[in-house]
């Protein structure tokens, strides 16, 4: 719906029709001030709902590499022309697009994010947060609750269950608009540091903030893993990412109220389709994501892993075990790997390759290693 409504507005404008809403506006003064007063070490910006591209043009002149996203093909065409084809252009619905994680040091969205139901806007704000790199900043506008009565286009509208309004006349007829109270804005942006929020002369919340290291960490997670050895081989899950295959010990996260040993029995059925007998606790390893290879993605992860010596219940040890009933997202299979060859594969945590090769089951506490 939003694609069509705005695409029609742009098409009419390009054909000599009226300039609706932001089409002939200058850039927001708050945006210009924010950019002037902030630092951007990487200078990679995303504009969500870039319209005809004026914000992106300004950012390119300031040395930014840019990505412009809009659901309207005409908008992207105008942006492309204005930027002489420089930068990345994405025609997509902002609520459905898969944003790359930890990528931008600036994400802006002016007069756009509210064009959907509140639950979609809330989910999108989560993705925006994930798409920012540490120290990345936002400049976002969202309409204040009062706009519902003050904006002429809302003179006649329908209201959905969740408070989202749909104008029934005018160029934005049929397009959902959601409005936000101060409490909602505070809750939605509470993860940001240096947060500044004010209402501009059109009744829009102007929100700027920064994603800071350590402002938001996921709760510490317990995970429990099985070391299953038979005939000089260890049973591992085989996984694949953009660098190729990597291997992990079977196991996973403890659920509230679940004893670690029960977690391990459940996880082994889910991942390697095998019932296990659980022996001694042999290693405890921590994984503090920001200190390791995948800090770009795992900066907010802190996991404590408990490794138990285990044996398969089944006497018959099938060397070509398939995936379990609920394999991990990256899991592509299960393999018995020769312990003597563990240093030839990508195994996490790496430290266990040498421990197993040397047959050293200690010290138990390994610390924060990968």
Ligand X SMILES: C[S@@+](CC[C@H](N)C(=O)[O-])C[C@H]1O[C@@H](n2cnc3c(N)ncnc32)[C@H](O)[C@@H]1O
Q: Which stretch binds ligand X (CB under 6 A): 112-120, 161-169, 238-246, 272-280?
A: 112-120
Q: Please identify, using beta-carbon distances, which residue of 7 and 270 lies nearer to ligand X.
A: 7
Q: Does 112 bind ligand X (CB under 6 A)?
A: yes
Q: Does 68 bind ligand X (CB under 6 A)?
A: no
Least separation in angstroms between residue 6's CB and ligand X is 3
Q: Please identify, using beta-carbon distances, which residue of 124 and 353 lies nearer to ligand X.
A: 124
Least separation in angstroms between residue 158's CB and ligand X is 18
Q: Which stretch binds ligand X (CB under 6 A): 45-53, 206-214, 246-254, 284-292?
A: 45-53
Q: Does 12 bind ligand X (CB under 6 A)?
A: no
Among 44, 57, 107, 110, binds ligand X (CB under 6 A): 110
> Which DSSP string do the residues of 250-305 spell out, in sequence order?
SEEEPPTT--HHHHHHHHHHHHHS--EEEEEEEEEEEEEGGGSTTHHHHTT-EEEE
Q: Say whether 57 sits in a helix, a strand or coil.
A: helix
Q: Does 178 bind ligand X (CB under 6 A)?
A: no
> Which DSSP string do the residues of 88-136 spell out, in sequence order?
EEEES-TTT--PPTT-EEEEEE-S-TTSS-HHHHHHHHHHHHHHEEEEE
Q: Does 71 bind ligand X (CB under 6 A)?
A: yes
- 114 alpha carbon, distance to own chain's centre: 20
In whole angstroms, what is the distance from residue 267 CA to residue 250 CA? 7
In whole angstroms, what is the distance from residue 265 CA to residue 142 CA? 48
Q: Please identify, using beta-carbon distances, which residue of 2 and 178 lies nearer to ligand X.
A: 2
Least separation in angstroms between residue 99's CB and ligand X is 12
Distances (CA, A) of 340 to 92, 249, 344, 356, 359: 49, 16, 9, 9, 11
Instruction: Tell which positions 74-103 bind ligand X, by CB under 6 A.
Output: 75, 93-95
In whole angstroms, what is the distance from residue 64 CA to residue 38 CA? 13
Q: Where along the sequence are the contacts to ligand X (CB under 6 A)?
A: 2, 6, 21-22, 49-51, 70-72, 75, 93-95, 110-112, 115-116
């Amino acid at each position: 719906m939003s694609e069509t409504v705005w695409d029609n507005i742009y098409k009419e404008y390009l054909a000599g029709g009226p300039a609706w809403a932001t089409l002939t506006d200058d850039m927001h003064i708050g945006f210009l001030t924010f950019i002037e007063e902030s630092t951007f070490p990487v200078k990679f910006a995303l504009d969500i709902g870039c319209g005809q591209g004026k914000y992106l043009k300004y950012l390119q002149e300031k040395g930014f590499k840019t990505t412009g996203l809009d659901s309207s093909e005409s908008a992207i065409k105008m942006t492309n022309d204005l930027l002489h084809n420089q930068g990345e252009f994405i025609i997509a619905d902002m609520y459905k697009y898969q944003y790359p994680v930890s990528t931008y040091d600036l994400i802006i969205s002016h007069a756009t994010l509210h064009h959907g139901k509140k639950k979609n806007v809330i989910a999108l704000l989560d993705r925006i947060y994930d798409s920012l790199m540490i120290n990345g900043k936002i400049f976002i506008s969202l309409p204040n609750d009062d706009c519902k009565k003050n904006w002429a286009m809302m003179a006649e509208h329908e209201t959905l269950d969740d408070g989202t309004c749909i104008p029934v006349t005018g160029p934005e007829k049929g397009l959902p608009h959601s409005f936000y109270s101060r409490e909602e804005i505070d809750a939605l942006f509470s993860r940001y540091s240096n947060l500044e929020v004010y209402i501009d002369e059109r009744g829009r919340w102007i929100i700027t903030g920064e994603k800071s290291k350590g402002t938001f960490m996921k709760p510490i997670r317990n995970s429990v893993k099985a070391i299953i050895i038979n005939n000089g081989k260890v049973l591992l899950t085989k996984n694949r990412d953009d660098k190729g295959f990597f291997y992990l010990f079977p196991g996973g996260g403890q659920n509230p109220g679940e004893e670690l040993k029960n977690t391990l029995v459940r996880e082994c059925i889910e991942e390697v389709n095998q019932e296990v007998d659980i022996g001694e606790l042999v290693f405890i390893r921590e994984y503090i994501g920001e200190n390791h290879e995948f800090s770009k993605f795992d900066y907010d992860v802190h996991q404590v892993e408990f490794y138990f010596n285990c044996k398969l219940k089944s006497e018959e040890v099938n060397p070509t075990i398939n995936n379990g009933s609920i394999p991990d997202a990256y899991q592509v299979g299960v393999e018995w790997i020769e312990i003597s060859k563990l240093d030839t594969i990508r195994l996490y945590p790496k430290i266990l390759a040498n421990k197993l090769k040397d047959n050293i089951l200690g010290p138990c506490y390994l610390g924060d290693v990968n």
